Amino acid sequence: MTDREISSTRLPLVQRPRRNRKSDWSRRLVRETTLDASDLIWPIFVIEGEGRREPVSSMPGVFRQSIDLAAQAVAEAAALGVPAVALFPNTDPRLRDETASVALDPNNLVCRACRAIKETAPDIGVITDVALDPYTSHGHDGLLSGDEILNDETVAVLAAQAVTQARAGADIIAPSDMMDGRVGAIRSALDAEGFQNVQIMSYAAKYASAFYGPFRDAIGTNKTLRGDKRAYQMDPANTDEALREVALDLEQGADMVMVKPGMPYLDIVHRIAETFHTPTFAYQVSGEYAMIMAAGQNGWLDEERAMMESLLAFKRAGAAGVLTYFAPRAAELLRDAK
Within 10 A of 83 (CB to CB), how many other CB atoms are there? 19
Q: Is 22 a catalytic residue?
A: no
Considering the candidates 22, 118, 229, 260, report the single residue annotated as catalytic: 260
Cα–Cα distance between 204 and 194 in angstroms, integer?
A: 24
CA distances from 194 to 108, 151, 166, 218, 337 (A): 22, 26, 10, 34, 43
Q: How many CA atoms lie within 13 A of 186 on its CB side?
A: 37
Cα–Cα distance between 248 and 236 in angstroms, integer?
A: 19
Cα–Cα distance between 103 and 131 in angstroms, integer?
A: 9
Cα–Cα distance between 75 and 88 in angstroms, integer?
A: 17
Picking from 94, 95, 52, 90, the residue whose alpha carbon sits closest to that of residue 72 is 52
Considering the candidates 118, 206, 229, 315, report the single residue annotated as catalytic: 206
Task: Provide the greatest CA pair distance for the chain.
Answer: 83
Please check whether residue 241 is in contact with residue 234, taking contact to mean a CB–CB distance below 8 angstroms.
yes
Please check whether residue 128 is in contact with residue 87, taking contact to mean a CB–CB distance below 8 angstroms.
yes
Q: Is 206 a catalytic residue?
A: yes
Which residues contact residue 290 at a Cβ distance below 8 angstroms, ignoring those fewer than 6 apart? 58, 59, 60, 214
Cα–Cα distance between 281 and 258 in angstroms, integer?
A: 5
Give 259's strand partners: 205, 282
Cα–Cα distance between 36 and 200 in angstroms, integer?
A: 23
Q: Is the peptide bond prior to 55 cis by the omega test (within 30 degrees of 0)?
A: no
Tell me the catalytic residues.
206, 260
